[in-house]
């Protein structure tokens, strides 16, 4: 039995099982990843700005 990684609900479709989560959770997961990536870039930019002013 395959369960969604995010909400632990049963995965019905083959595609969801391949992804490891349902379509709704996949969207949320992708949004989370985008946010993490965005925050990483923010930190990098801040570091660059700091090193310039220092
Ligand atoms: Zn889910």
Res 33: pLDDT: 95
Q: Where are the domains positioned within the chain?
A: 23-53
Buried b (16+ CB within 10 A) or exposed e, 15-26: ebbebebbeebb
Instruction: Provide the 8-state DSSP code for 7.
Output: T
21 contacts 29 by C-beta, under 8 angstroms: yes
Distance 18 CA to ligand 1 centre (A): 13
> Which tops the pLDDT comparison, 50 or 3?
3
Q: Tell me the pTM.
A: 0.68
Distance 35 CA to ligand 1 centre (A): 19
49: which 2 tokens?
């700005």
> Which tops the pLDDT comparison, 41 or 54?
41
Q: Is the pLDDT of residue 54 over 70?
A: no
Distance 38 CA to ligand 1 centre (A): 23
Using one digit for the tens of pLDDT, what is the confidence trace for 3-49? 999 999 999 999 999 999 999 999 999 999 999 998 888 877 788 88
């Amino acid at each position: 039995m395959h369960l969604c990684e995010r909400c632990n609900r049963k995965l019905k479709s083959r595609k969801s099982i391949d992804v490891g989560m349902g379509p709704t959770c996949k969207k949320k997961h992708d949004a989370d990843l985008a946010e993490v990536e965005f925050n990483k870039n923010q930190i990098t930019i801040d570091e660059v700005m700091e090193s310039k002013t220092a």
